């Protein structure tokens, strides 16, 4: 199986990136697990099947055909429409994230092949400003949708986000409408849109393009929702149920189509696109 070979290669450069500690604690089951074992397992906990958060680049490696990804609009980055400043100016905060993550924004977009099928793909990265959606993220999603329309190929998005980017105020709220409108046009043009939700997907991202997929897939145990758990607890003054807002909870309530293990994600995408595409390459 192709995906298995590829991850072995990934393992090597990941080891370089994260030098500290041989053991990690699983965020879900709290078990202490040998790091190498997790990495060999596509960053999935071998004890409880918790899917650790992965970077946008790792995600791309996992689901697109090797060497097929060509990035579009890498130069689109955040502005500072409000002149926002909290403890540090927003501009500096963005620069800090750029330095730390090697990314320029919380999303990477481009075209690629999935099992030979051409797609436009947009992948969010939670490590960049909590994957939050501001003007630049919104614009990149819209341009990706427009490219999918132009090329008449499916759009695939992978969400991982705390929601709208507060530091851009009303402009970030408006990105919800802007991205949803672009998806609306895509659907009217008869283009397939698959949305993948990964841990975590919240707020303005869930309440816009991420929940508008023709097919919606989530990774096991991912936290997904509109309102954050602390806000809900404070509002209703009740303890939340055990699996509340987990991917499985959303599946049970009919909000998503399926929960798919990381190792099966690429195959699943390929199969879906295959059903709805007439011309594989």
Helix (H) or strand (E) holding 122: strand 117-124
Helix (H) or strand (E) holding 141: helix 135-151
Tell me how far apart the alpha carbons of residues 175 and 183 are, in angstroms, rounded to a whole number: 12
Is the Cβ of residue 208 or residue 268 nearer to another protein in the bound state?
A: 208
- The tokens describing 98, both together, are 């750029």
∠ Cα 193 273 73 (to 5°): 50
Is the Cβ of residue 3 or residue 171 nearer to another protein in the bound state?
A: 171
CB distance 155 to 184 below 8 Å? no
Tell me how far apart the alpha carbons of residues 211 and 216 are, in angstroms, rounded to a whole number: 7
Evaluate the CA torsion angle 209, 211, 216, 217 in order and state its sign: positive
Buried b or exposed e, range 18-47, using 16+ CB within 10 angstroms: eeeeeebebebeeeebebeebbbbbbbbee
Instruction: Tell me the Cα Rg of the chain.
Output: 18
Phi, psi of 184 (to 5 degrees): -60, -40
Is the Cβ of residue 168 or residue 199 nearer to another protein in the bound state?
A: 168
Tell me how far apart the alpha carbons of residues 220 and 18 are, in angstroms, rounded to a whole number: 24
Beta carbon of residue 130, minimum distance to another protein (angstroms, whole number): 10
Beta carbon of residue 167, minimum distance to another protein (angstroms, whole number): 9
Is the Cβ of residue 67 or residue 241 nearer to another protein in the bound state?
A: 241
Beta carbon of residue 83, minimum distance to another protein (angstroms, whole number): 9
Beta carbon of residue 217, minimum distance to another protein (angstroms, whole number): 15
Is the Cβ of residue 204 or residue 270 nearer to another protein in the bound state?
A: 204
Is the Cβ of residue 118 or residue 131 nearer to another protein in the bound state?
A: 131
Beta carbon of residue 245, minimum distance to another protein (angstroms, whole number): 6
Beta carbon of residue 270, minimum distance to another protein (angstroms, whole number): 26
Beta carbon of residue 179, minimum distance to another protein (angstroms, whole number): 8
200: cis peptide before it, omega within 30°?
A: yes
What is the binding site for another protein (CB under 8 A)? 75-82, 84-87, 134-136, 138-139, 142, 164, 166, 168-178, 180-185, 187-188, 203-204, 206-212, 225-228, 231-232, 235-236, 238, 240-241, 244-245, 249, 253-255
Is the Cβ of residue 117 or residue 250 nearer to another protein in the bound state?
A: 250
Tell me how far apart the alpha carbons of residues 178 and 253 are, in angstroms, rounded to a whole number: 27
């Amino acid at each position: 199986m192709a995906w298995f070979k590829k991850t072995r290669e990934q393992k090597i450069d990941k080891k370089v990136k994260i030098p500290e500690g041989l053991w990690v604690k699983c965020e879900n089951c709290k078990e202490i697990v040998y790091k190498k074992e997790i990495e060999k397992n596509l960053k999935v906990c071998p004890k409880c099947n918790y899917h650790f958060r992965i970077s946008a680049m790792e995600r791309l490696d996992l689901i697109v055909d090797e060497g097929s990804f060509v990035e579009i609009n890498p130069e689109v980055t955040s502005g500072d429409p409000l002149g926002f400043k909290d403890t540090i100016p927003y501009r500096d905060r963005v620069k800090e994230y750029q330095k730390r993550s090697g990314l320029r924004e919380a999303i990477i977009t481009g075209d690629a092949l999935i099992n030979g099928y051409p797609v436009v793909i947009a992948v969010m990265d939670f490590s960049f400003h909590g994957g939050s959606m501001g003007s630049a993220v919104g614009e990149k999603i819209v341009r990706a949708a427009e490219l999918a329309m132009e090329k008449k190929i499916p759009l695939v998005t992978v969400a991982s986000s705390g929601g709208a980017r507060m530091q851009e105020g009303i402009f970030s709220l408006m990105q919800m409408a802007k991205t949803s409108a672009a998806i609306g046009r895509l659907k009217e043009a008869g283009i397939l849109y698959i949305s993948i939700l990964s841990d975590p997907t919240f707020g303005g991202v869930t309440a816009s393009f991420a929940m508008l997929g023709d097919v919606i897939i989530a990774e096991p145990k991912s936290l997904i929702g509109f309102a954050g758990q602390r806000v809900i607890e404070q509002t209703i003054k009740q303890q939340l149920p055990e699996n509340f807002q987990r991917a499985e909870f959303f599946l049970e309530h009919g909000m998503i189509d399926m929960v798919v293990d990381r190792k099966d994600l690429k195959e699943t995408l390929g199969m879906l696109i295959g059903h709805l595409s007439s011309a594989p390459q």
